[in-house]
Amino acid sequence: MKKFGLSAQEKIKSRKDFEELYSKGIILFSSTKKIKAIYIIDQNSIKPGVKISVAIGHKSGNAVWRNRVKRLLRESFRLNKNIIMKKAEELRLFIRIIFSPYSINMRKNKSIYLKDIMPDVIDIMSRISINV
């Protein structure tokens, strides 16, 4: 895996994974309650690493706004994934995470920037790596 890349192997794509995360996953909110994360940690995995996905509902805003939020969430994870990646590889863990906005929507935030989202994503990732 590239240090700052986000390859196809690092994305959750299968319906089975999504259903497992939503049914058995642990829910975690950022300290400002802007972002919600659902995650599962698999112990002693053959292939350690981290897989993520971004989910956002239609009620949050129009398609342009939703796509921007998805891009910003992926970008903030991509730039800071070393926080959680080191821990996963050293403890042989396989971590799956779904990020989604919780209290941010188009009505409250007409324009949204990376500086608005990145601290919350860093907060969530550091709390997940501590919980390991």
120: CATH = 3.30.230.10
For 26, phi and psi rounded to 5 degrees? Answer: -95, 130
Q: Is 40 domain-assigned?
A: yes
Q: Is 86 domain-assigned?
A: yes
What's the domain range around 85?
9-131
Can you give the pLDDT at residue 132? 77
Per the structure, the count of domains in the chain is 1
pLDDT tens for 78-104 read 999 998 988 888 889 999 999 999 999
What 3-state class would DSSP assign to 110? coil
Sign of CA dihedral 59, 61, 62, 63: negative
Rounded to whole angstroms, how far apart are CA atoms 3 and 59? Answer: 34
- Tell me the β-bridge partners of 40: 96
Six token digits for residue 65: 């706004």
Can you give the pLDDT at residue 131? 84
Can you give the pLDDT at residue 45? 77
92-108 core/surface letters (b: 16 or more CB in 10 A; e: else):
ebbbbbbbbbbebbbee
Rounded to whole angstroms, how far apart are CA atoms 55 and 78? Answer: 16
Q: Is 63 domain-assigned?
A: yes
* pLDDT < 50 positions in the chain: none
Can you give the pLDDT at residue 70? 94
Are 126 and 78 spatial neighbours (Cβ–Cβ below 8 Å)? no
Q: Is 99 domain-assigned?
A: yes
Rounded to whole angstroms, how far apart are CA atoms 38 and 100? Answer: 9
Q: Is 2 domain-assigned?
A: no
Q: Is 1 domain-assigned?
A: no
Can you give the pLDDT at residue 26? 94
Q: How far is CA 93 from the centre of its chain?
A: 16
Q: Is 3 domain-assigned?
A: no
Q: Is 124 domain-assigned?
A: yes
Query: For the whole model, what pTM was predicted?
Result: 0.90
Can you give the pLDDT at residue 44? 78
